[in-house]
Structure formats: structure tokens, C-alpha cells
Amino acid sequence: MRILVIDDEKRLLQVLEQLLKDHHYEVDTAEDGKEGLQKAYDSSYDLLIVDVMLPYMNGYELVQQLRQDGNSTPILFLTAKDSVHDRVEGLDSGADDYLVKPFATQELLARVRALTRRSGDLIGVSELEAGCFRLNLIERTVYLGAHVLALTPKEFQLLELFLRNPNRILPKELILDRVWGLDMDINVVESYVHFLRRKIQQLASEAQLEDSPAIETVRGVGYRLKDV
């Protein structure tokens, strides 16, 4: 597994590099946003660990650029910015997880393992199809029938999780862990399911689809994507 760590704190960069190497990861490093972006383009990585406050290009801009260019490598923000607004902005920029400094070593390693497992699951897979959905993992594009379904990065990840588990009940806690991967209020799951439902229903109505898929609420448990 290859990891790129992008952080302008040289001492922390050295510590992270050694820690990850001690756990058998191959590690490259970059000390500013532009260098990190170029390395992400030049090589293939299983995970990017990115600080937010970087010279030349901040972490949000870096991640947004990668996602716009179709790069789907898992990304973990590792930063001192700890407000809820910062976390939401980081996740909405396209990151998969967000960990605040100072951090516990074991928690960092656990999140790295989870994200690199997710990366391994995607090797050789460029599209997911289920029912009238087609999700392109490279272009980060979703089609409902012949129509493009415009989603935010977190809505895309949420729908991807449902498509990987069609007609299966997914508990809210599992969704929170797989899509956000951090300690956020469980209400964020309910909000994003609502957003996703509304977009699917609106596009299905506009496209006059007779058999529209539905995200069903399983009371007291979670959600299930039915009839896909």
C-alpha cells in the first residue's frame, strides 16, 4: 500500500512517515499543496493524508481539484482545524475522513486501515450498476436511466454504499462510519438521506421513470435501497 502525506510541519511529516513505514506502508511526502498535487498526479496511491493549512494551495483546494479531475483515491484530512464547520467543509470538498490534531496514533492507524481497505475494494472496478442506476467511480458521475444525477461528494459516497448493498438494511451507525468515518452526530445521516431521496425523486419525475428506486426507512434501524 502506497500513501502520500502532505503537510508543511516537517517534524510531524517525519513522524508520520516513520510511523507508517513501521507498519509496512510505502510512503511519499510533500510539504506544500502544489507539490502534493503534482505527486498525486504523477503516481498512483492507495491513500492521501492531507493537512488543510498548506502553502501555495490549501488542502480543500487540493482535494477539490483532484476530485474534479476524476481522481477517486481515498483522502484523509489530518488537521488542527476542529470546528464542525471545518469538518463539513473538508468532507464536502471530497475527502473521505477527517481527523483532528493532536491525534491518537492507534486511531490514525485504524482510519488508515479502513481507507486503504476501501481503496483495495475499488481496484479494477470503474463502474457500479444496479437497476436503473449506473455509477462511474472514475468520473464520479451517476446516471439514473439516461439522465445525470447531480450529487455532492458525500451524497455520491452515500449512494455508492447503497448500490454496493442493494435491498439490504443498512443501520445508521454503519452508514455514518462508512461514509463519514468520524464522530459526527447521527442526524447527519438522516439529513443526507433526505437530500439524496429528494434529488432521486425529482430527477425520476422529470425523466418520467415509471419504476423509480426508493430509499426506504426501516424504523429504528436504518435505510434500504429497494427495487434496484
Domain boundary among 105, 121, 137: 121
Count of beta carbons in the 10 Å neighbourhood of residue 204: 20
Residue with cell 492507495: 46
Q: Identify the domain containing residue 47 by its residue range.
A: 2-121
Count of beta carbons in the 10 Å neighbourhood of residue 167: 13
**β-sheet bridge partners, residue 75:** 48
Query: What is the per-residue pLDDT across 116-136, written as a single tens digit (0 to 9) for each?
Result: 766 545 444 567 877 788 888
For residue 31, what is the domain's CATH number? Answer: 3.40.50.2300
Query: What is the per-residue pLDDT across 87-113, written as a single tens digit (0 to 9) for each?
Result: 888 888 888 888 888 888 988 998 888
For residue 169, what is the domain's CATH number? Answer: 1.10.10.10
Give pLDDT, residue 123. 47
Q: Measure the CA–CA gap between 224 and 158, rounded to whole angstroms.
A: 12
